[in-house]
Chains A and B, each alone.
Chain A
Amino acid sequence: MGYATVKNSLCVLGLLALLQACSYSVIVSNKNGVAQPDPFRQELGFYNLKKVQDVKFINRLSLLQNSVMVIDSTCTEGFHSIEYKITFGDMLRNTITFGKRKAVRVRIVCIKPSNQ
């Protein structure tokens, strides 16, 4: 591999790492309630064996609107957790459209329904 190729690869890697660092997510979790289980969802971390619903869309706001509301009808007994995720691209889109095009990436886990 030539010196230039290595240099380019390193630059791309560096850029990717930078972009990755610009994305982040916050999970708001309920102190009470148990997550709805999903015996097939096996992954390292918070969502292991939990049933998740991913909500992803890009919303166009009118001049009078300044935020997005997501109405969820899947959780019958409330939210166990909600993760809001923002990526570098989302931030860029928000900035260049002066906040009028918002990407929404939300991951919801419902509370396991009780038998009442």
Chain B
Amino acid sequence: MAQITTHHVTDWNNYHFNGPYPTKCLFDIDTNRTIVSLIDRYTDSASSIQGLISDSLANNERFRAYGSAWSLSNVAHQRDRMLFNANLNIRLEIKDSQLHPSTTYQSENLFLFQCGNTIKEISEFLQKKGKSLKTCGASNGQTIAGAISTGVHGSSIDVGSVQDCVVGLQLIIGPNANDRVYIERESRPALSDEFARRIQSRVIRSDDLFNAALVSLGAFGVIHGVVLEAEDLYLLKRYVKKISKADALQIAATMDFANARFKLPDEVLPDGTVNRPFHYKLYINPYNASEDFVTEIIYKKPYRTGYPNPVPFVQNAIFKDIPTWVSAFAAKHKRIIPRILDALKSEAFPKVDDTIEGTLGEIFWDTSQSSAAFGCGFGIDIADSPKALDLFIDLMNDKGPIPGILSMRFVKASEATLGFTRFPTTCILEVDGVPWKGNQNMISLDDFLTDVIKTFKDSGIAFTLHWGKNAPWSFPNLIDLMYGNADDKWKDMRSILLSKEIAHLFSNDFLSTVNLADYRVNIAPDFVALRDAVAASVV
């Protein structure tokens, strides 16, 4: 059996100290490395997790897996029992013989990753095979299960988010033999039934169920394995330029680089055609919005060896507790915030006119930020992005100032039912900074973000929120406002897959706050056949 250490605790905190939150018990699990066959070691971990689920049920305690604790919201927190799964990092290559007979995927591009593999581990593993992830966030510390569960994105304008590279999921949804399921899309099957049997799972092929389980917020059971589609290794060439606000936002609103006023001479071909970038990101100082925007533009290039190492040789990693000091000071003397931010700009923004090349894993390398922090990401249709930015900046100046800087990233729509990148191309308008305590002198973060939501609503700007970041999650009817009926479908799918008792087991405070915890005995008529098929499936 896998090694499990049980720690009785009183509280738990996330990576950026947004808690602490009360918790009773934390399990630290590691694979049984004495089992030689990796696939047997993998199924052994699943059995051990089922043992924990069984015990939690017997004790009427709820249960939740988490990864790197990088979510700034309390989405990963559970009051009863939490499973730290970062040591579950088995990786398996998929062989031709393991493919579904009618798949369109190539076996050389498919890999099964156990839930605790981090993005960095995956990138390094794939690079050794001449492969790469299609996209990732701005850094690499999330576990694969954690990343897809909240919908982690970078700024890959034509690719999507991390969950959009997933083709199959193995979930553990209870303590019994039939409670291991392998789910993939019916329209795009990837692996054979035989492979699912090998990992002791029953197979469910359904686009609706798969898309709902992709961004699951930890509520569809324990994601034990993730089948990812990779691609051939490539290089990214990153330019950092200052662009006028008007030119930067012309691109932001359309993603039309071919007809944009701004052009990078190095990326214009002799016939005048303009290369389309892989990534486009704007960094904005909200307290001096008339200044040109620092803009990061990245192009995909064929892989070659011998390029200079893009990871800096020296980083100033000897930390002092500056952010906490800044926020305490800022909360008392808020007028000085714009000046502090101006001074810290060189830390927060990339260096202008720096051009570097590297693999995806090198360009989006380790984060050096490891202190108290807040972050909030609003998803908006790109057409609305200039207006949303202006409103946001006005609020930061009128209600604030608050100690945060803005950025905009752009991502292709996700197929995940509750993916917050749900617009054809979503602009993620983000504010990141150091947390502070609101007082009579200064608005709190929650109140500020509530004002942003109200303003967007009143201005007719449709929006979503990053599940793994700070937000006033108890805002009335927030989920309906953001997702229309999509949350009903998500709840139906969850109720099809899980029993009522198990749905309760995998719920938490976050889910209750956003009204996603309820179980549906009566699901929409369209899904009755699916429910019956799922109930009838066996390993």
Contact = CB atoms under 8 A, between A and B. Distances in A.
Q: Are A and B bound to each other?
A: yes
Given A115-B90, A115-B91, A44 B13 contact: no
A110 B365 CA distance: 18
Nearest to B121: A34
A7 interface: no
Contacts of A42: 13, 17
B295 interface: no
Nearest to B35: A115
Contacts of B370: 44-46, 48
Interface in B43-96: 68-69, 84, 86-87, 89-91
Contact of B319 (A31, A33, A39, A44): A44
A40 B319 CA distance: 20
B324 interface: yes
Interface of B is mostly: loop
Nearest to A27: B317
Contacts of A32: 124
A34 B118 contact: yes
A112 B87 contact: yes
Interface size class of A (residues with CB under 8 A): 20 to 34
A49 B15 contact: yes
B87 A44 contact: no
Interface in B420-450: none
A86 to B, nearest CB: 13
Interface of A: 24-27, 29, 31-34, 37, 39-40, 42, 44-46, 48-49, 112-116
Given A37-B86, A114-B125, 13 more contacts: A27-B317, A27-B318, A29-B317, A31-B365, A42-B13, A42-B17, A44-B324, A46-B317, A46-B370, A112-B89, A113-B33, A114-B89, A115-B38
30 contacts: A24-B318, A25-B318, A26-B318, A27-B317, A33-B124, A34-B120, A34-B121, A34-B141, A37-B86, A37-B87, A39-B28, A39-B86, A40-B7, A42-B13, A44-B319, A44-B370, A44-B371, A45-B319, A45-B370, A46-B368, A49-B15, A49-B68, A112-B89, A114-B91, A114-B121, A115-B31, A115-B33, A115-B89, A115-B90, A115-B91
